[in-house]
Structure 1
Amino acid sequence: MLLEGVPASSGIQIGTALLFHREDFDVPTYTIDESEIEKEIKKFESALIQTRKELEEIQSKIQKEMSSIHAGIFSAHILLLEDPMFVDEVKKEITISKLNSAAAVKNVVQNIIDQFSTMDNEYLRGREADIRDVVSRLIQNILGKEKIDLSSLKKEVIVISHDLSPSDTALMNKDKVIGFATDVGSKTSHTAIMARALEIPAVVGLGKITSYVKTGDLVIIDGNRGRVLINPDGEVYEEYLIEQSKFQEFEQSLSMLKDMPAVTLDGTHIELACNIEVPEELSSIQKYGAKGIGLYRTEYIFIRKRTELPSEEEQYESYKEAVEKVAPEAVIIRTLDLGGDKFASSLGIPADVGSMMGLRAIRLCLQYPFIFMPQLRAILRASAYGNAKIMFPMISRVEELRLAKVMLDQAKSELEYEGLPFDPNIEIGTMIEVPSAVVTADILAKECDFFSIGTNDLIQYTLAVHRVNEEIAHLYEPLNPAILRLIKQVIDIAHENGIWVGICGEMASDPLVVPLLIGMGVDELSMSPIAVPEVKKIIRSLTVEEAQKITQVAMSFSTANEIESYVYSEAMERFPDVLMWIDHRLH
């Protein structure tokens, strides 16, 4: 049987399945007497202490075995347990609703999860599983239930589960788990993140794989193409043994490109940079042979502080670490790109549930200087230690960019008065993510030093398609003629005005799109560190003249399907070894 899902972590693995069911349990719900309220609150508080202790032990284990960034996942879990709003809401539910403590926790957390499920950001929606994990542990401690885990594995297995929580992956015997496959999940889910960190194949979002697999079945995980084969016949098994060997050889060949420049066959250099969220990811830049950071997402610093804003000093230390470690290469720091609803509970900002079209990113920052100014000051202070650049997200009109620059100048004046060092000539970039920014790119170009095209949002806003909506996901087309024309228009205008332009969305690492971007004249591509070797190989496999011809022909077609078929055929002639490990979308 063949099942297809989301390829979450590359690689091919063949092994024995272990069907892992986390224990499902019903949370008893009943009313309590007035005299029992204090007892239930104490039971809740005791479970909080126990759960925190368990999470700290798991965090310590992860810190030693993997890295601080993955251990940091559990910092967020602990913060939930310490969140005064969460604790107070549970106590209020126990006191006012007279509910038993386990049921009170369940009700309060469901409200939090409902908020996460409406968020537009796929990464933030993926944190719903993290919340469920920590709350499940908390409720089990309230109820005194025994927990099960994957720590006692004796032989190599491929874990098949409905989902894997952070605790599941943290406690498993990592020498024995050689692959994951789950019913649910996305590329940004915790299971996918951990699989990539462990560098083992994973396929998520398979629907009902747990209904088809039993422990002991022979399973093949194809993390390149998002496929899982259950009990394959002998012929298919032998084919995949060969495939596995070929892929290992391919990965080895990519590793040899690490220290080679990203230069086309006719000598044109394309800057390859990385998208990162926290300084702990910096080691990946060097590991995969990238040059600098094309997108430093600053949201994590704010998200992890659930009840208060991060201080200027905290932000400064994070940005400074990145700038110092990457110097002399550039670090492009994007200012906060979150919606007002993320701050509503703790800061008294009116919630704006329609954050994609509402109070988010630069709009939020301009409206609330007490959020924006400390970040601008922190970025400027970090710029004294290397090559930092600043980038403003979701610019939809030139007035926003001009006002952001005024506030940046104000921050500069403050630092100068205080005698704090900074780069007075720090470059300013504008993210091009909405159609209005494309149409007025000639105006915006005169106000900044570079453009960075955020293709993920640009596609969604232009085509009116939310890519996580399963019913219309097929309409999310990176190769739609409208999208390619918009990107080409922005690149041309940027160059006409003497500024450079980069791409920091997923299109920057798509093997079928990279030749088109080169043909359009893009100067920089920024992506996940692990994607750098493949893109570097593509760049080194063709000339700019060839890329321009491919782009010219591709843009003469009327549909995304026609463009994709053509580009696929051209790419197969130049770098077939890259394409053989991905699914052709039309297949």
Structure 2
Amino acid sequence: RHLLEGSGASRGMALGRARLEQPSRFLVDETPLEQGEVAAELERIDQALASARGELRALRDKLKGPLAREVAEFIEAHSLILADPEFIHGLHDLISTGRYHASAALKMQRDSLVAVFEAMEDPYLRSRREDIEHVIGRVQGALSRESSIEERKLASRVGEILVSDTVAPSELVPLAEHGVLGFILTAGSTLSHSAILARSLRLPMVVGSHQALSHLQDGDLILIDGDTGNVVVHPTAQDLAGYRHWQREVAQQDKRRARLRDAETRTLDGTTIQLYANAEMPGDIANARAYGAAGIGLYRTEFLFLQRKDAPGEEEQFLAYRDLVLGMGGQPVTIRTLDLGADKADSAGLALEDEPNPALGVRGVRLSLRIPQLMHAQLRAILRTTGYGPVRILVPMISAVEEIITVRRMVKECAMQLRTEGHEIADQFDIGAMIEVPAAAIALPGMIPHLDFVSIGTNDLVQYTLAVDRNNNELGDLYDPLHPAVLRLIAQTIAVCRRTRRPVTLCGEIAGDVNFTAMLIALGLTEFSMHPGLILEVREIVNAINRAELRKLAPSLLHATDRESIRSVVQSMRAQFRPIVENVALAPSQA
């Protein structure tokens, strides 16, 4: 048993087999063998070869139909290499005569055989070096696997956990559909798009586990904890008992919270709190309805654009937005216009010049206004859905009032065109701004006359306020929503909206984190937007606290000059919770 550490990016636990994206990374022991160790090392390599042959036989037996015929050639080629007397004799000779450990002998055989294939003139034969790589990787995996017979039996009955450097948002859904139970990434951020999507899919994810690829082998049994960021390799009976206890607790928790699906979200002293859902995929709409969301507080349209050769046209967007609105059955829907930058534009079919700092470049509304035809197509698609239910338009990355004025003019132009063409659209529609740039929060009193509502995007607001790249693993300790400057900008935004009677929603990741629920209510927030799967958990907290008592603590929050003082105040708010939620612990600064 050993422990790998990282940062929890998506909550929950999973038990499964490690599936390495780069299974060729193996630890090679290059120290020479003692004479007395040779016999045992020969036995190790023979057992690893036998295990690899067995894996290939099992794979051949599992395959059926056309797939079996398609891969039979590769299985046969790999089996022949594993049975080749010259290959086996070479390994034995390196171990017994050269006194190499089995892992080092395999590497030397691999290097020698690959050199032969690379010297071939025929491109096809040269390409077959990959077979050598795969075979050696399979034997190295069998050689390095330190699991017992009982563990291997258990591993054969559970699903897979992907271990990789990174994973693209577009890959998450198909991986989940194929049974992947969780993710361990050596890089990544708790606030990356992939982490956000993993939370939406309720798949545990650990990021920043730097040693995962070098210390794990394919097939290792691992226990992943997306709350703590810990990965247990070769878990013990005690670890497995803890996992089963967690499963029972989750089942009881889900049963208890299921009763809240149709309940109101109301504090003990009678204040109604609106809980909206963030969405990007069709499945999120069904979950929003199932968990009793008050509507969609943020629909991320960029997921329609990513991983395509061409940007989606008006009609394709309209059909997606229409299905969204119809799926919510008359509840309000807030659709955010495209929020992409140069770093992701290429994967969305938009050609932009590379930027040295995309986070401070052409992104959000800046991109949309630079490509008017793109913005017009999206606005027309959104406006056409207003005839099917209540729809609001949210504009990201606003930093100046002129941007809002320009967008309002474009919306008016598109509406006139649509009415002229005979489309039935609403008589009027609300337009709001994302407050995620400090300049927007500070200048909000001058912007507010041009806005119908406001949405606070804390993920970027924290990043831009603190000058901390939220995707930089080295700066994780500095990225802190409990920084005094961040809290004051949030409180100031809420105060301006309350004073001018404009609705204000917070849709950043802290909206769905129960560690921040009481604090945000203390600051005056009454509208939250979060991943659908978190709604019942937040509702349970809201129904257990007294808003009036929390509001008395707001001055203490805003007058605090350091993060520890703020954390102390937030911790004291737990006294507002009923015993049923006493197990909720305040998270560290990493949100």
SS at match of 2:327: helix
**TM-score, normalized by length of structure 2?**
0.71
Counterpart residue number, 2:424? 421
CA displacement at 1:198 relative to structure 2: 7.0
Displacement of 1:429 in angstroms is: 0.8
- Alpha carbons of 1:162 and 1:570: their partners in 2 closer, same or farther (altered >3 Å)? same
Partner residue of 2:465 out of 450, 462, 470: 462
Q: Distance in 1 between matches of 2:122 and 2:465?
A: 49
Distance 1:422 1:398 in 2: 26
In 1, the alpha carbon distance for the partners of 2:197 and 2:489 equals 35
Partner Cα distance (1:421, 1:287) in 2: 30
Structure 1 counterpart of 2:358: 355
Answer whether contact 1:454 1:504 (CA < 8 A) is retained: yes
Residues 475-497 of structure 1 deviation map (CA, whole Å, 9 limit, x = unaligned): 11101111111111111111111
Inter-CA distance 327–457: structure 2 relative to 1 (3 Å threshold): same
C-alpha distance 141-372 of structure 1, shift in aligned 2 (>3 A): farther
**Residues 309 and 232 of structure 1: is their aligned pair in 2 closer, same or farther, counting only changes over 3 Å?**
closer
C-alpha deviation, 1:576, in angstroms:
6.2
Aligned-residue offset at 1:397: 1.0
What is residue 449 of structure 1 aligned with on the other side? 452
Report if the CA contact (8 A) 2:265-2:275 is conserved.
Answer: yes
Deviation (angstroms), 1:522: 1.6
In the alignment, structure 1 residue 430 sits paired with structure 2 residue 433 = yes
Using the aligned pairs only, state the percent identity.
Answer: 36
> In 2 relative to 1, CA 316–193 (structure 1 residues): closer, same or farther, beyond 3 Å?
same
Residues 1:9 and 1:436: Cα distance change in structure 2 (over 3 Å): closer
Query: Which structure 2 residue ranges, 5 or more long, are not aligned?
Result: 26-65, 71-120, 139-152
Following the alignment from structure 1 to structure 2, what is the Cα–Cα distance between the partners of residues 563 and 213?
39
Deviation at 1:566, TM superposition (A): 2.6
Structure 1 residue aligned with 2:226 = 223
Alpha-carbon distance in 1 for matches of 2:300, 2:288: 15
Q: Where does residue 269 of structure 1 map in the other structure?
A: 272
Kindly state the Cα deviation for residue 203 of structure 1 after the two structures are TM-superposed. 3.3
CA distance in 1, matches of 2:549, 2:16: 46
Answer whether contact 1:277 1:296 (CA < 8 A) is retained: yes
> 1:529 matched to which residue of 2?
532
| Counterparts of residues 325-340 of structure 1 (less than 5 Å) | 325-340=327-342
Distance 2:324 2:16 in 1: 42
Task: Give a deviation string over 1:234-283, Cα, whole Å, max 9, x none.
Answer: 66665555444334322322222111111111111111111111334211
Does the C-alpha gap of structure 1 residues 173 and 261 become closer, same or farther in structure 2, counting only changes over 3 Å? closer
Compute the displacement of 1:143 (Å).
8.4
Q: Residues 337, 537 of structure 1: CA spacing in aligned structure 2 closer, same or farther, 3 A cutoff?
A: same
Which residue number in structure 1 is paired with residue 83 of structure 2? none
Partner residue, 1:205: 208
TM-superposed CA distance for 1:563, in Å, is 1.0
> By how many angstroms is 1:211 displaced?
4.7
One-letter amino acid of the counterpart of residue 364, structure 1: L
Relative distance call for 1:450 and 1:323 in structure 2 (3 A) is same
Query: What residue in structure 2 maps to residue 478 of structure 1?
Result: 481
Q: Residues 244, 568 of structure 1: CA spacing in aligned structure 2 closer, same or farther, 3 A cutoff?
A: farther
Distance 1:184 1:398, change over 3 A: closer
More deviation, 246-255/423-432: 246-255
Equivalent position of 2:321 in the other structure? 319
Q: Distance in 1 between matches of 2:375 and 2:527?
A: 27
In the TM superposition, residue 579 of structure 1 has moved relative to its aligned partner by 6.6
Does the 8 A contact of 2:189 with 2:470 survive in 1? no
**Rounded Cα–Cα distance in structure 2 between residues aligned with 1:241 and 1:418:** 61
Structure 1 residues 581 and 397: CA distance shift in structure 2, 3 A: same
- SS of the residue corresponding to residue 474 of structure 1 reads coil
Measured on the aligned residues, the alpha-carbon RMSD in Å equals 4.0
Query: 1:552 is matched with which residue: 549, 552, 555?
Result: 555
The answer on whether the counterparts of 2:4 and 2:231 sit within 8 Å (CA) in structure 1 is yes
Q: State how 1:157-196 maps to structure 2 within 5 Å.
A: 159=161, 161-162=163-164, 181-187=184-190
Pairs within 5 Å for 1:58-73: none
For 1:466, what is the secondary structure of its paired residue?
coil
In 1, Cα distance between equivalents of 2:337 and 2:278: 14
State the distance in 1 between where 2:541 and 2:382 align. Answer: 34
- CA apart distance, 1:412: 1.1
- Secondary structure of 1:471's counterpart equals helix
Could you tell me which amino acid in structure 2 is paired with residue 290 of structure 1?
A: A
In the other structure, the counterpart of 2:107 is none
AA in 2 matched with 1:315: Q
Instruction: Render the CA deviation track for 1:274-328: whole Å, top value 9, x for unaligned.
Output: 111133421111222212110111112222432x332111111111111111132
Residue 158 of structure 1 contacts residue 178 of structure 1 at CA under 8 Å; is this kept in 2?
Answer: yes
Find the residue that maps to 2:477 and give its secondary structure.
Answer: helix
TM-score using structure 1 length: 0.71
State the distance in 2 between where 1:348 and 1:185 align: 25
Change (3 A) 1:343 1:284: same
Q: Is the 8 A contact 2:515 2:587 kept in 1?
A: no
Cα distance in 1 for partners of 2:171, 2:471 equals 26
Aligned to 2:542: 539
Query: SS of the counterpart of 2:433?
Result: strand
Q: Is the 8 A contact 2:469 2:475 kept in 1?
A: yes
Q: Corresponding residue for 1:5? A: 6
Report the structure number with the largest CA radius of gyration: 2
**In the TM superposition, what is the alpha-carbon distance from 1:154 to its structure 2 partner?**
3.9
Cα distance in 1, alignment partners of residues 353 and 16 from structure 2: 52
**1:418 positional shift:** 1.2
How many pairs align? 478
- Say if 2:166 and 2:187, in contact at 8 Å, map to a contact too: no
Displacement of 1:421: 0.9
| Counterparts in 2 of 1:560 and 1:313: CA distance versus 1, 3 Å | same
Pair 1:278 & 2:275 matched = no
Partner of 1:382: 385
CA 1:579–1:422 in structure 2 vs 1: closer, same or farther (change >3 Å)? farther
Q: Does 1:513 align with 2:535?
A: no
* Distance in 1 of aligned mates of 2:355 and 2:217: 45
CA offsets per residue over residues 13-55 of structure 1, 9 Å max, x none?
5x57556575449xxxxxxxxxxxxxxxxxxxxxxxxxxx99x
Is contact 1:344–1:350 with CA below 8 Å preserved after alignment?
Answer: no
Q: Which moved more, 1:350-359 or 1:276-285?
A: 350-359
Is the CA contact 1:338–1:361 (under 8 Å) kept in the aligned structure 2? yes
Deviation at 1:231, TM superposition (A): 5.2
- 1:406 to partner: Cα distance: 0.7
Cα deviation for residue 528 of structure 1 reads: 1.1
| 1:584 to partner: Cα distance | 2.8
- Contact 1:9-1:202 at 8 Å conserved across structures: yes
Contact between 1:312 and 1:374, CA under 8 Å: does it hold in 2? yes
**1:369 Cα deviation from its structure 2 partner:** 1.1
Instruction: Work out which of the residue numbers 155, 158, 161 in structure 2 matches 1:156.
Output: 158
| CA distance, structure 2, for counterparts of residue 162 and residue 298 of structure 1 | 27
CA 1:271–1:191 in 2, change beyond 3 Å: closer, same or farther?
closer
Deviation of 1:188 after TM superposition, in Å, equals: 7.0
Structure 1: tracts of 5 or more residues without a match: 26-52, 58-98, 103-138
